[in-house]
Structure 1
């Protein structure tokens, strides 16, 4: 299975999904003009990945902002990983948020309540990055 990689733009996040080691990352800003066009290849990749996942899967989110249409796809990604987790595969989600961004922290907490996945909420200080 091929890895999935999209370079970040000013409207879309960097996507780095490695099939062999199960390290998945979505980093940046997600305000695509067409969320379906951007996220559908990611969901399709996950469908294929779920047929033969790595020993462990770790998804990292480091989003500084995302729009409402992106949020539906983020939840869709988590739902796919929830299915994998419920089948007994180890899955870990790391949700990073800027120390000053309470909304992003709360979004991570809300997602923890919606999906049955281990989600770690981690703060980062952008001033130190």
Structure 2
């Protein structure tokens, strides 16, 4: 099993940085997600999670630190989280950390809470200090 790494870009459309580690199951998705084909993009990630477990992976830790995502990306992210819910319900450890900037961005926090409610898997809400380069 190989890592899945996708460099984030900010061209016409914005894609997040993706780093899924096969050796550890520690994964991250960060940046902005404004994609032309969000379902294709996130399907690769969901498939990697499924294949990782099929090939003997026992746990997945996913750090989500998205500063912006559009509605179609939101739906694709939700589908990816549902795949993780299925993996969790099959007896594997799945930890999802949803990072949101402080102090004033309640919108990203609320989106994380909505994802948790809609997909039915626990998500850790973690506040972080927004850096000048991230705003």
Counting only pairs closer than 5 Å after superposition, residues 2-41 of structure 1 correspond to structure 2 as 2-10=2-10, 11-41=14-44
Deviation above 6 Å: which 4+ runs of structure 1?
Answer: none
1:49-89 CA-to-partner distances (Å, cap 9, x unmatched) read 23135232101100000011111111111111100110111
SS in 1 for 2:15: coil
Question: What are the within-5 Å matches in structure 2 for residues 78-93 of structure 1?
Answer: 78-93=81-96
CA distance in 2, matches of 1:6, 1:53: 23
Label 1:53 to 1:9 Cα distance change in 2 as closer, same or farther (>3 A).
Answer: farther
Scaled by the length of structure 2, what TM-score is found? 0.87
Give the distance between the partners of 1:68 and 1:12, measured in 2 at CA.
Answer: 14
Give ranges in structure 2 of 5+ residues lacking alignment: none
TM-score, normalised on structure 1? Answer: 0.91
Q: Which runs of 5+ in 1 are unaligned?
A: none
Q: CA RMSD in A?
A: 1.7
Q: Deviations over 1:82-115 (max 9, x none)?
A: 0011011111100001112111100111112122
Where 1:103 maps in the other structure, the secondary structure is helix
Aligned residues: 129
Matches within 5 A, 1:63-102: 63-99=66-102, 100-102=104-106
Work out whether residues 6 and 16 of structure 1, in 8 Å CA contact, stay in contact via their aligned partners in 2: yes
Give the 3-state SS of the residue equivalent to 2:23 in structure 1.
Answer: coil
Distance 1:59 1:53 in 2: 17
Pick one of 92, 100, 104 that aligns with 2:108. Answer: 104
Contact 1:21 1:55 in 2 (8 A): no
